[in-house]
Amino acid sequence: MTRNQVLKGIPAGDPRPLQMAAGASRRRGRILAFLSMALLAGMIGGLVWMKGPELGSLELLPQDPTAEEQIAQAATDTPTPDTSPAPDAAVERAAGQAQGVDVTPPIGAPNPALLRSVDLRTVVAPPSPTPTRTPLPPVDSVEAVVGSGGATLWEASSGLQVTQVAQGELITVTARSADSQWLYAATAEGATGWVEAERVIAFDSKRLAVQDVVVMPITPTPGAAGDMAWLTPTPAARQTGQPAVPPNAPMARVTVDDARLNIRRGPSIDASIFVKVDPGARLIVLGRSATGEWLQVMLPDGSASGWVSAEFVELSVALDDLPIVDGTSQGQTEQTLPPPSNDLDTTKGGEARPRTGVALQVAQQPAPVLYPTAAPPPTAVPQAQATGLQGTLAIQTTWGGDIYLYDLASGGLRLLTGGFDPAISPDGKQVAFTRAGGEHGLYLVNVDGSNERLIFSGRELLRSPKWSPDGQYIVFERGDEVLHCWETGNRCIPRPPFVDKDELSTERQEKLARVDVNGQNYQDLPVLQRAHAPDWNEAGIVYHSPAGIQLTQDDPGSQTELVFFNITKQYELDPDWQPGGGRIVFQRREADHWEIYGVNPDGSGLFALTKPGFTLVDKMPSNVAPAWSPDGQHIVFLSNRQPDHNAGAWGVWVMDAGGGDQRRLPIDLDFTYTYVAEQMLDWGP
pLDDT at 226 over 50: no
Please give the Cα distance from 58 to 288 (Å, whole number): 96
Which residue has better confidence, 679 or 107?
679
Percentage of the chain modeled with pLDDT above 70: 64
pLDDT at 380: 34
When pLDDT is averaged across residues 179-192 and rounded to a whole number, the result is 86
Which residue has better confidence, 81 or 317?
317
- The secondary element (H helix, E strand) that includes residue 236 is helix 235-239
DSSP state of 313: E
DSSP state of 503: G
When pLDDT is averaged across residues 627-634 and rounded to a whole number, the result is 96
Which residue has better confidence, 134 or 576?
576
pLDDT at 86: 47
- The secondary element (H helix, E strand) that includes residue 28 is helix 16-50
pLDDT at 632 over 90: yes
Please give the Cα distance from 495 to 364 (Å, whole number): 56
When pLDDT is averaged across residues 501-526 and rounded to a whole number, the result is 85
pTM: 0.48
Half-sphere exposure of 376 (CA within 13 A, CB side): 6
- For residue 370, CA distances in Å to 307, 645, 665 come to 19, 7, 16
Q: Which of 122, 131, 106, 114 is nearest to 65 (CA)?
A: 122
pLDDT at 197 over 80: yes
Q: Which of 252, 266, 261 is nearest to 316 (CA)?
A: 252
Q: For the chain, how far is it from start to end, CA to CA, in angstroms?
A: 164
Please give the Cα distance from 639 to 509 (Å, whole number): 30
pLDDT at 662: 93
pLDDT at 176 over 80: yes
Please give the Cα distance from 185 to 196 (Å, whole number): 10
Distance of CA 625 to the CA centre of its chain: 25
Q: What is the pLDDT of residues 6-31, one digit of tens each?
A: 555 556 566 666 666 666 677 777 77
Which residue has better confidence, 249 or 664?
664
pLDDT at 70: 54
**HEC states along 353-418?**
ECCCCEECCCCCCCCCCCCCCCCCCHHHCCCCCCCCCCCEEEEECCCCCEEEEEECCCCCEEEEEE
Which residue has better confidence, 331 or 468?
468
pLDDT at 279: 75
Confidence of residue 592 (pLDDT cuts 50, 70, 90): confident
pLDDT at 206: 82
Q: Left, alpha or beta for 419 (phi > 0: left; psi -120 to 50: alpha)?
A: left
When pLDDT is averaged across residues 336-355 and rounded to a whole number, the result is 32
Q: Which residues contact 459 (CB under 8 A, 6 or more apart)?
A: 478, 480, 513
pLDDT at 238: 33
Task: Tell how many helices (H) and how many strands (E) occur in the chain.
Answer: 7, 43
Q: Which of 670, 666, 671, 668 is nearest to 653 (CA)?
A: 666
pLDDT at 555: 92
**HEC states along 56-113?**
CCHHHCCCCCCHHHHHHHHHHCCCCCCCCCCCCHHHHHHHHHHCCCCCCCCCCCCCHH
Confidence of residue 91 (pLDDT cuts 50, 70, 90): very low
pLDDT at 108 over 60: no
Distance of CA 674 to the CA centre of its chain: 23
pLDDT at 400: 87
Q: What is the pLDDT of residues 41-72, one digit of tens each?
A: 888 877 766 665 444 444 444 445 554 455 45
Determine the 3-state secondary structure of 50 from DSSP.
helix
Q: Which of 235, 240, 91, 684 is nearest to 446 (CA)?
A: 684
Distance of CA 9 to the CA centre of its chain: 118
Confidence of residue 470 (pLDDT cuts 50, 70, 90): very high
Over the range 312-334, which residues count as b (16 or more CB within 10 Å of their CB) and which as e? bbebeeeeeebeebeeebeebbb
pLDDT at 388: 85
Please give the Cα distance from 550 to 572 (Å, whole number): 11
Most confident range (mean pLDDT) of 113-122, 492-501, 591-600 is 591-600
**HEC states along 127-184?**
CCCCCCCCCCCCCCCEEEEECCCCEEEECCCCCCEEEEECCCCEEEEEEEECCCCEEE
Rounded to the nearest 10°, the torsion over CA 658, 662, 666, 672 is 90
Q: What is the pLDDT of residues 401-431, one digit of tens each?
A: 899 999 999 999 999 999 999 999 999 999 9
pLDDT at 573: 93
Domains of the chain plus CATH, in order, are 142-211 (2.30.30.40), 229-359 (2.30.30.40), 390-477+511-684 (2.120.10.30)
Q: Which residues contact 55 (CB under 8 A, 6 or more apart)?
A: 48, 121, 122
Q: What is the pLDDT of residues 486-506, one digit of tens each?
A: 665 455 656 555 556 555 666
Confidence of residue 339 (pLDDT cuts 50, 70, 90): very low
Please give the Cα distance from 35 to 191 (Å, whole number): 91
DSSP state of 433: E
pLDDT at 493: 59
Contact 230, 339 (CB under 8 A): yes
Mean pLDDT (the chain) is 74
Handedness of CA 658, 664, 668, 670 (dihedral sign): positive
Please give the Cα distance from 297 to 286 (Å, whole number): 5
pLDDT at 56: 43
pLDDT at 205: 81
pLDDT at 128: 56
Most confident range (mean pLDDT) of 22-36, 303-317, 324-338, 403-417 is 403-417
Which residue has better confidence, 459 or 237?
459
As a residue count, the chain comes to 685
pLDDT at 433: 97
- Residue 444, beta-bridge partner list: 432, 453
pLDDT at 445: 97
DSSP state of 206: G
Please give the Cα distance from 420 to 396 (Å, whole number): 7
pLDDT at 396 over 60: yes
Which residue has better confidence, 568 or 473?
473
pLDDT at 355: 29
pLDDT at 395 over 50: yes
